[in-house]
A and B are shown apart, each in its own frame.
Chain A
Amino acid sequence: MIKTLLLSEITDEKISQNTYELINIANEISDEVSLVILNFSDCKTLSKDFDKLYVDFIYVLTVPPLNTDKGIYNIDTFVISKFIESKNYDLILLSKTEYGSIVGPRVAFGNKKEYLSDCVAINLRENGFSITRPIYGGVANADYKIPPGISPIISFRPGLSLSSSDIKHPIIEEITFEYSCQQHVKMINEFNSMDENKIKLEDAKIIVSGGRGIGGELEFKELNKLVNLLGGALGASRAACDAGWVDHSYQIGLTGKTVSPDLYISVGISGASQHLAGCSMSRNIVAINNDKNANIFNVARFGVVGDWKSIVKSLISTIEDLNIR
């Protein structure tokens, strides 16, 4: 009997999409699935969703006085470690988000457990499990063999599986923890660089993404015209962010955002594996690049070879025409 524990994430006071994805992954390989929710806000808004979660047990861990230490995650690390101390799971899964990339290894190494990050597949073996994870930014994949009985912690790349809608009526248990460690690390301030009124990259159906080939900050404004016309969101490669043309919060890729829109229009981006790691799950990729050998064409459904400026200009005017008609 395989028992799996999932560490959930809450975004905008809702159970995150990533958590639903984890639930699906877990159900395919487990007999019993438990979900941990750290309760930092009022759980009442959340609990409406509980019946939608296809799990057997939900543990709501409450830590008075309900304040988080986002970005540092001492509280999460402490509480989750305490919780798993008294339990026995075959697998502990979480998402490879900013949260997961910190809390996962902290809990694992703090409790002498094995840790694997950024997995894209897990399979049951006769004896244990096997997982697959990309390496070298996605140039290759590596398979690892996990023996039974070691209870590893594994993070999964977001965007892998769509959520199902079955209902299971989980058993819900609330547990209160006391946390009183002295804080040597303090968050003084937090700033959001994204425009709150714009569509979030993660939610956008259409993304237009620019790279080093765009050439400058002013030129990015040209690209923004296309973004606005399509009602999409703007993205960028790391080279464009590093050049200071756009804020790093627009970066897509291994160390930026992971997106999966219906349409991803990449402009002046070469298609380095680390960039593709963040966008290759897009349903349709259009690549505009003046180098016909650019790697981006290997993942593009539609390829356009040429200078982006003239192409985007005529793309914009044609779309305007088509929209009027």
Chain B
Amino acid sequence: MTIQIAILAKQVLDTEIPSDQFKINENGNNLETKGNNSPIINGFDLNATEAALKLRDDGHDVNITVIMAGDGFFLDIIKKPLSMGADNLVLLQDESLVGCGSTFTVKALSSVIDKIGPFDIILAGRHASDFDNGHVPIGIAETINLPIITYASEIKIKNNHLMIKRITLNGYQIIETSFPCIITVSNEIGEPRYPNLRGIMTATKKNPKIFSFRDLGLDEQKEDLIQLERIFIPENNLNTEFITGEDESEIGRNLAIRLKEEGLI
């Protein structure tokens, strides 16, 4: 029996860009980059893709469907999971999905899952690096009534059971569960693999299946109950005292003396 896996993924701004390269967009409801940087797929979502592909490496028969909700997709970028080895790409496309509150995102993604599911395992990144919420997968789990396991760093399937290594602040836990369930994946699962040439070729030939709100019987989004009012970049007016000296050895010594003077060591 093929194990159906869904991966929830989001297109975000590249977070590896230095923070002073971000500015507030025209509408004042999100950031954009000062340069012409292309977006990326949220890093943790690629970790989730890697987790699914590792299950295939383990010899399991898996079918991997990547689901993305948003608008203004960069096709070559969002095809990355396909070139890594995922099988299908499904988009829910609507302008109102950009920068909407998570309540609506949860509702929208839940209806996509409802439409194209059922899935045995739903994977998602532990959070998206734009609004840093991390509660969309949890919200979906509560909405469609599935167990949720967070921060996975390893997933194994044994006799139709899932064994999940779950990262905690001070170590880890081993959690056992059965299908179906939702798992959020953390970077400790390992670097997402580089697409190989064959993967890239296959991905170019595949086209995403695109859904609109109408297709899912979703109402146009009403206003969020909790509304984003403004975004601002906090001022930083700390005066750094640079420790100097003839050479690094003297700089180190001067640092020790300054810290001692200040009673910090």
Q: Which residues of A contact B (CB under 8 A)?
A: 70-72, 74, 98, 101-102, 104-106, 108-110, 114-118, 130, 134-147, 150, 152, 184-194, 206, 230, 238, 241-242, 248-249, 254-257, 262-263, 272-274, 284, 286-287, 295, 297-307, 310-315, 318-319, 322
> Within 8 Å of chain A (Cβ to Cβ): is B22?
yes
Q: Which residue of B lies closest to A113 (CB)?
A: B103
> Within 8 Å of chain A (Cβ to Cβ): is B1?
no
Pairwise interchain contact A106-B149, C-beta atoms closer than 8 A: no
> Within 8 Å of chain A (Cβ to Cβ): is B228?
yes
* A272→B18 CA distance, assembly (Å): 7
Pairwise interchain contact A134-B255, C-beta atoms closer than 8 A: no
Query: Closest Cβ of chain A: how far from B178's Cβ, in Å?
Result: 6
* A256→B191 CA distance, assembly (Å): 18
Most A C-beta atoms less than 10 A away, residue of B15, B135, B173, B178: B135
Q: Which residue of A lies closest to B138 (CB)?
A: A105
Pairwise interchain contact B229-A130, C-beta atoms closer than 8 A: yes
Query: Closest Cβ of chain A: how far from B129's Cβ, in Å?
Result: 7
> Within 8 Å of chain A (Cβ to Cβ): is B132?
yes
* A102→B169 CA distance, assembly (Å): 13
Pairwise interchain contact B22-A139, C-beta atoms closer than 8 A: yes
Q: Which residues of B contact A (CB under 8 A)?
A: 13, 15, 18-20, 22, 24, 31, 101-103, 106, 126-127, 129-135, 138-139, 141-143, 147-150, 153, 163, 166-178, 181, 186-188, 191, 225-234, 236, 238, 240-243, 247-253, 255-260, 262, 264-265
B135 / chain A contacts, CB cutoff of 8 Å = 101, 104-105, 108-109, 115, 117
* A291→B241 CA distance, assembly (Å): 16
Q: Which residue of A lies closest to B23 (CB)?
A: A140
Kindly identify which residue among B173, B226, B251, B258 contacts A306, using a CB–CB cutoff of 8 Å.
Answer: B251
Query: Closest Cβ of chain A: how far from B133's Cβ, in Å?
Result: 6
Pairwise interchain contact A139-B233, C-beta atoms closer than 8 A: yes
Q: Which residue of A lies closest to B172 (CB)?
A: A191
Pairwise interchain contact B238-A301, C-beta atoms closer than 8 A: yes
* A172→B212 CA distance, assembly (Å): 52
Q: A134-B132, A315-B252 are in contact. Are A150 and B225 (CB under 8 A)?
A: yes
* A186→B24 CA distance, assembly (Å): 44
B253 / chain A contacts, CB cutoff of 8 Å = 314-315, 318
Pairwise interchain contact B143-A109, C-beta atoms closer than 8 A: yes
A254 / chain B contacts, CB cutoff of 8 Å = 132
Query: Closest Cβ of chain B: how far from A146's Cβ, in Å?
Result: 5
A102 / chain B contacts, CB cutoff of 8 Å = 138, 148, 150
Pairwise interchain contact A135-B131, C-beta atoms closer than 8 A: yes
Q: A130-B229, A145-B226, A302-B259 are in contact. Are A136 and B31 (CB under 8 A)?
A: yes
Pairwise interchain contact B240-A303, C-beta atoms closer than 8 A: yes
Query: Closest Cβ of chain B: how far from A187's Cβ, in Å?
Result: 5
* A117→B148 CA distance, assembly (Å): 18
B20 / chain A contacts, CB cutoff of 8 Å = 295
Query: Closest Cβ of chain A: how far from B120's Cβ, in Å?
Result: 13
Pairwise interchain contact A312-B242, C-beta atoms closer than 8 A: no
Query: Closest Cβ of chain B: how far from A297's Cβ, in Å?
Result: 5
Q: Which residue of B lies closest to A272 (CB)?
A: B19
* A135→B229 CA distance, assembly (Å): 13
